[in-house]
Amino acid sequence: MPELPDAERAIGYTFTDKALLRTCFTHASVAGQESNERLEFLGDAVLELYVTEKLYRDCAAREGELTELRKQFVSREALEEAERRLGLLRFLHYAGGADALRGKTASNLYEAVTGAIYLDGGYAAAEAFLARTLAGKSAENYKSALQELVQQREHTTPSYETAETEHGFICEVHALGQSARGSGNSKRLAEQAAAKLLFGKLTEQ
């Protein structure tokens, strides 16, 4: 079993109940020990509550848009990215060779750690962990949200046409037979504005 203090340093949280820490790093392939599956189940719920509240407070969008944005935050890819930044898999106790780690192991482990922190330190501790480790995503990143939505529906990507004007930039985005135009003081802001408008159109359907 990996050293617990090293795992705590990677997480950035010190557990009062070390048994919870051991459990969250115990894979289901290990016989005779409680696995992290129940903690993963709990962590999934804590994560969804955190993201839902964050979007509600930070993002002035309609329900359909908020739902799609939440999917982006809690996607397997997003959680795997968060796990990679922390390097948690090196502490996982598992049996059966590398085959045991196939599938959603990284994202599941991230959820299990979230659940363990919640049980040990309450929602405030879990919230602080999620705020720090999911910091790479923005509630207003409509360009990423639009791309994910389009890929889910048609396995294509949006196309952007941007031009500079006297007053800044204008951008037109096309996807799924629809288009929208936005403007901004920079190319990035113009693209985000256009993506937000088209995202809104597509989530109304």
Domain extent for 167: 142-204
Count up the domains in the chain and report the number. 2
Q: Return the structure tokens found at 110.
A: 């991230």
- The pLDDT value recorded for residue 2 is 52
Q: Is the dihedral of CA 15, 21, 24, 25 positive or negative?
A: positive
Q: How far apart are CA 194 and CA 186, in angstroms?
A: 12
One domain for residues 119 and 198: no
- The pLDDT value recorded for residue 50 is 93
Q: How far apart are CA 72 and CA 138, in angstroms?
A: 10
Query: Among the three residues 133, 161, 183, which one is the final residue of a domain in this structure?
Result: 133
- The pLDDT value recorded for residue 124 is 93
One domain for residues 46 and 110: yes
One domain for residues 17 and 118: yes
Q: Return the structure tokens found at 196.
A: 């937000």
One domain for residues 117 and 151: no
83 closest CA partner among 103, 55, 47, 111: 111
- The pLDDT value recorded for residue 101 is 67
Give the CATH number, domain containing residue 59: 1.10.1520.10
One domain for residues 95 and 113: yes
Per-residue pLDDT tens digits of the chain, which is 205 residues long: 457 789 999 999 999 999 999 999 999 889 899 999 999 999 999 999 999 998 888 777 778 878 888 887 888 888 988 898 899 999 999 887 666 566 689 999 999 999 999 999 999 999 999 988 885 455 457 787 788 778 878 888 899 999 998 888 999 999 999 999 989 888 888 888 898 888 888 876 5
Q: Return the structure tokens found at 127.
A: 């919230």
- The pLDDT value recorded for residue 131 is 86
pTM to 2 decimal places: 0.70
Q: Residue 171's beta-bridge partner residues? A: 162, 182
Give the CATH number, domain containing residue 163: 3.30.160.20
Q: Answer whether 92's CB lies under 8 Å from 27's CB.
A: yes
One domain for residues 164 and 95: no
**Catalytic residue positions, numbered:** 44, 111
- The pLDDT value recorded for residue 100 is 57
One domain for residues 109 and 152: no
